[in-house]
Amino acid sequence: MPRFPSKLIDRFEVANGTMGFAFERPAGFEFAAGQFMTITLPDPPYNDEKDNRRTFSIASPLSEGDLEGKEIICPLHGAVFDVTNGEVVEPTASEPLTRYNVRVSAEGIEVEV
């Protein structure tokens, strides 16, 4: 199994009790659907049945994709979405993107959730 050393760039809460992590993309890394990574935690505060290893699925922000006209190509899976409505234009995705109403105001950018 190839090894790709990478640096942690950011961590953030995705939902209550669920963390997201952002890593530098390692040189030579090529994504294939279904990949995951196993991370060894140095000196964790405690060990459980998984010891100090955790497995995560790999995702990438769609903003890293290529925008061609009104279509954006997912940088990991190659799915193509219409940026005006979130609909899938070409697989591998089976579900459309979640769409949010956005408005620019004097206070900044407002997103309706």
Q: Name all domains of the chain by residue range, CATH numbers in brackets.
A: 8-57 (no CATH), 62-112 (2.102.10.10)
Helix (H) or strand (E) holding 28: none
Give tens-digit pLDDT for 71-100.
998 877 788 999 888 899 998 888 888 888
* pLDDT confidence of residue 30: 75
Asked if pLDDT for residue 66 goes beyond 80, the answer is yes
- pLDDT mean across residues, the chain: 82
Segment 37-40 long-range contacts (CB within 8 Å, at least 24 positions apart): none
110/113 Cα distance (integer angstroms): 10
Please compute the mean of the pLDDT values over residues 43-68 and round it to a whole number: 78
E strand spans, 1-113:
8-15, 18-23, 36-40, 53-57, 66-68, 71-73, 80-82, 88-90, 101-105, 108-112
Asked if pLDDT for residue 13 goes beyond 90, the answer is no
Neighbours of 65 (CB within 10 A): 20
* pLDDT confidence of residue 33: 62
* pLDDT confidence of residue 69: 94
Confidence of residue 1 (pLDDT cuts 50, 70, 90): low
* pLDDT confidence of residue 48: 76
